[in-house]
A and B are shown apart, each in its own frame.
Chain A
Amino acid sequence: MTRIADIAPLPKPILRAEQIVKQYPGTTALKGVYFNVYPGKVNVLIGENGAGKSTLMKILAGVEQPTSGRRLLRSEAIEIASPRDGLAHGIGIIYQELSLFPNLSVSENIFMAREMVSGVGVVRHKAQDDITRQLMTRLEQPIAPRTLVEDLRIGQQQLVEIARALAEDVSILIMDEPTSALSNAEADILLRIIAELTAQGVAIVYISHKLDECLQIGDVFTVLRDGHLIAEAPAHEVDLAWIVEKMSGRSAEGMFHKQVRVTGEPVLEVENLSLPRAHGGGFLVDDVSFTLQVGEIVGIYGLMGAGRTELLECLFGMQPNARGSIRLGGRPIDNLRIDQRIRAGLALVPEDRQLLGLVQNLSVSKNITLASLKRFIQGLALSRKQERQEVQRLIEALAIKVADARQPITTLSGGNQQKVVIAKSLLTQPTVLMMDEPTRGIDVGAKSDIFNIMNDLADEGLGVLFVSSELKEVVAMADRALVMARGRLVATFAGDAITEQNLADASVSVPSANPPERP
């Protein structure tokens, strides 16, 4: 472990965490963590999912209270009882999950709970709108202050979240995955804002899974693993290999290893699949045809709004207006309900775990068996014993970190929750597994676990169809890559032709009148 005293020419930390311990039901998230925040620097905090990054940030911002340990601001121990208290100390936070009110305007969101009020207690909307307009100009967004947040693209919503933090006069700004929903252009704007803030002496705490981005802007790097401080180092001592090694406790070699696979018969055949837009003309999915073979991993790449998620939704029966032919193992399934498609051998791991993947009030075990209850019926009742056996088998096979399968699902880290969703899908014994952004919001270690799982499944003869917006992931994992743009399938690459350059070029191409691939 690097000793903090070894690091020389940094200014005195403005904020410091000492011996922070945080216990949750079933987990100890932080086990005596130290963390320094240096003024005028971009303090990058990295670690795998479940390493405790977000928890530590919530403790620094006053959202959560530590079980034990101290927080020091300018070398003085302080209590941060609430986020409001944190703000009073000059600590602002931009959350990983959007915490906006979709039914309110941009300006109302920015001034939520600190409205500008006139003498008689009436909100001064005009004054709020003026400041909002200035903030939007600073963020280079042509968004009117009275626009409802629900009418904004997700990237713009994230910028509003950032604007909300900028409206405060903070000396420490914590950003938890601020660019996860931003386009490249929007991310560049954010990085420029960060540079402005650090020049003014504001300390930025930056959490991101995009390691290249961290390397680009970070001044100081702190790595957490498993609730412990692993290392702290200034930028000039840090490179990608260093980060990966410290994060996962092993070297970067062999993270992605692509195997050459022999694929077989077609298992999923899609012809002329279309999904009309609900409002107005045009198609969200426009005349898409492709096949997936036994033992094959096919990646679908495309920009936001290209129709990738909608394509999977059509295949899984979530879009009643979808038209076209879908055959699974030669059998038409396009008129079946979701439960019938699952029984026919189709499984989906959705993108949004919390909203679509998990039932939060149920245990780990009950989540895993939810899609396969019929298998456990003995007489009239469910056989607890059989359930327990199958769940235990999957927990071991997927290396899910859980002490007891009866534990509430909410006590697991994101990567482990994702594995639970995958376990649920696998228990239905699918022949085709569809995964929508399978590694979203997951750290490097859990990512490589999930890649290994995908490879193993393909080796066992499953067809794996996954959607990803990360080029590296598609290049690393896919035997064949499909590229979508504006609802259309615009290109197909196989083998060595799957390169970042090829995929990126195709994703911005204008779809031609005729789809390029027709089986």
Chain B
Amino acid sequence: MTESPSISPVGTRRPSLKMMLLQLRAYIALIVLVILFALLSPAFLTSGNLIILTKQVAINAILGIGMTFVILSGGIDLSVGSIVGLCGMVAGWLINEGLILPMFGVSVFFNVWIVILLTLVMGVVVGVVNGVLVTRLRVAPFIATLGTLYVARGAGLLISDGATFANLVGHASLGNTGFPVLGSGTLLGLPYPIWVMVLFAVVAAFVARKTPFGRQVYAVGGNEKAAGLSGVRTNRVKLLTYMISGLCAAMVGLIIASQLVAAHPATGETFELNAIAVVVLGGTSLMGGRGTVGGTIIGAFVIGVLVNGMVLLGVSEFWQIVIKGTVIVLAVVVDQWQQRMQQKALVQD
């Protein structure tokens, strides 16, 4: 056939130190922040503070994991904050008032495990609505999920007419006690929310890297038409990403309601922006097709450490917001820079 390959090898040579530093920049930034705050504030590295910090990180990380799948496939999910609120309310309602069956004139109370399951299903259902709007009705993801952002928030308010479900401890007589354990219980000294984050992260990373579905998510985000012609069921892949996002948001709704032992309909407002921020901070491209779950977790820790450290140092809350925004944009700028460096490095190889 044609002549011998004239292509220089790629990926076989060891990357330069500079490239390696750039690739590991999120980790480096995290370590630098940790060292900085440890030096500036003696309270920072105490185990008590680190556990509080990680519990806060867990919220953004779990939301970010779901968001990562949606963004990788080329979509966006603005409704996660409202799903957090709605699902908290659903859990609170099921525990405090039970499922009211008017035709029988009774309320059915469920075991806490069933409550958790039903709440997660609720989150997935909102994800299905998002997915159907995007795939079947061809609404742009931004608009579709903006719509569900409002609808889910309104639905949460309607459940209790705007009131809070307080004291979600259940009754021994109804067999539905134990809900607060999810938020405040510990295993091996670590609170459950941290374990939930670890579990979600491990499963999500496996799904993204090792399964056909994960590969297809990257393909759909890269070139949807070509993926479709390769037999990838693009609509199903996109629908599943919104369902995953809904599930993650429901989990966060449960964790927060359990931590507070109360469900408030306004919970989770603007959480969608934090979720998008940690995803982007973790190096995932909003254009779809590029990014990792691991990056998102690191992104969540960077934001978490930053906020926690600034609080300890007594930085004004208003400055915190300014700095957070600056860091997010800076991360994207460095990411673009790395992309260009990588192109060049490949050339020089």
Contact = CB atoms under 8 A, between A and B. Distances in A.
A25 B6 contact: no
A403 B8 contact: yes
Contacts of A370: 215-216, 219, 227, 230, 232
Interface stretch (A163-171, A289-297, A375-383): A375-383
B2 A339 contact: no
A318 B6 CA distance: 38
Nearest to B343: A25
A380 B210 CA distance: 8
B324 interface: no
Contacts of B8: 26-28, 403
Contact of B231 (A342, A381, A401, A452): A342
B212 interface: yes
Given A26-B346, A358-B226, A360-B223, A382 B10 contact: no
Interface string B181-218: 00000000000000000000000001000111001101
Interface in A428-461: 428, 445-446, 449, 452
B11 A23 contact: no
A362 interface: yes
A451 to B, nearest CB: 11
B226 to A, nearest CB: 5
B222 A407 contact: no
B280 to A, nearest CB: 17
B238 to A, nearest CB: 15
| Chain A contact residues: helix, strand, loop or mixed | mixed
A128 B349 CA distance: 48
A339 B210 CA distance: 21
Interface stretch (A83-91, A149-157, A348-356): A348-356
A248 B5 CA distance: 14
Nearest to B72: A361
B223 A358 contact: yes
A326 interface: no
Contacts of B343: 25
Contact of B346 (A25, A402, A424): A25
Contacts of A402: 5, 7
B290 A401 contact: no
A451 B9 CA distance: 28
Contacts of A411: 7, 10, 346
Nearest to B210: A381
B265 interface: no
Given A348-B229, A355-B226, A382 B215 contact: yes
Interface of B: 1-3, 5-12, 206, 210-212, 215-216, 218-219, 221-223, 225-233, 289-290, 342-343, 346-349
29 contacts: A23-B347, A23-B348, A25-B349, A26-B349, A226-B3, A358-B223, A359-B218, A359-B226, A359-B227, A360-B222, A361-B218, A361-B221, A362-B218, A362-B219, A362-B222, A366-B215, A366-B219, A370-B227, A371-B232, A373-B212, A373-B215, A377-B212, A380-B210, A380-B211, A381-B211, A401-B2, A404-B9, A411-B346, A424-B230
Interface of A: 23-28, 31, 48, 67, 226-227, 248-249, 316, 318, 337-339, 342-343, 348, 350, 355-362, 366, 370-371, 373-374, 376-377, 380-382, 399, 401-404, 406-407, 411, 424, 428, 445-446, 449, 452
Given A339-B231, A382-B212, A407-B7, 18 more contacts: A25-B347, A26-B7, A226-B6, A316-B229, A342-B231, A358-B226, A359-B289, A362-B219, A366-B218, A371-B230, A373-B215, A377-B212, A382-B210, A401-B6, A403-B10, A406-B10, A424-B230, A452-B1
